[in-house]
């Protein structure tokens, strides 16, 4: 991955694996990154060699969140923002 993460969420949408939010132990992430699983299986070569790429970030830092896919849209639910519990959802 492009960023060190713990307490992140992951989901598969439109054939890509997405990793959302999480934290480094010092700061939280609002970033989202994705990879095509074919790269992980060695079926294709990726630019830069690692295969992960950034996509649009979430509006809020979220760690310990849940996520789901509904109608090809990814929803990030709850979690915490640097220790403050969130009661919101975003896509």
**Per DSSP, what are the bridge partners of residue 20?**
9, 32
Q: How confident is the model at residue 15 (pLDDT cuts 50, 70, 90)?
A: very high
Distance CA 24, CA 71 (A): 31
Is the pLDDT at 65 greater than 60? The verdict is: yes
Mean residue pLDDT of the chain comes to: 90
Task: Report whether pLDDT(49) > 50.
Answer: no
Domain spans, the chain: 9-90
Higher pLDDT, 30 or 39: 30
46 pLDDT exceeds 80? no
């Amino acid at each position: 991955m492009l960023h060190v993460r713990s307490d992140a969420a992951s989901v598969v949408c439109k054939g890509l694996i997405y990793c959302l939010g999480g934290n480094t132990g010092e700061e939280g992430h609002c970033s989202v990154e994705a990879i095509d699983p074919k790269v992980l299986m060695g079926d294709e070569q990726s630019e830069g060699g690692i295969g992960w790429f950034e996509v649009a970030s979430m509006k809020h830092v979220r760690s310990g969140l849940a996520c789901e896919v509904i109608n090809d849209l990814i929803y990030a639910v709850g979690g915490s923002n640097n220790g403050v519990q969130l009661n919101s959802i975003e896509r």
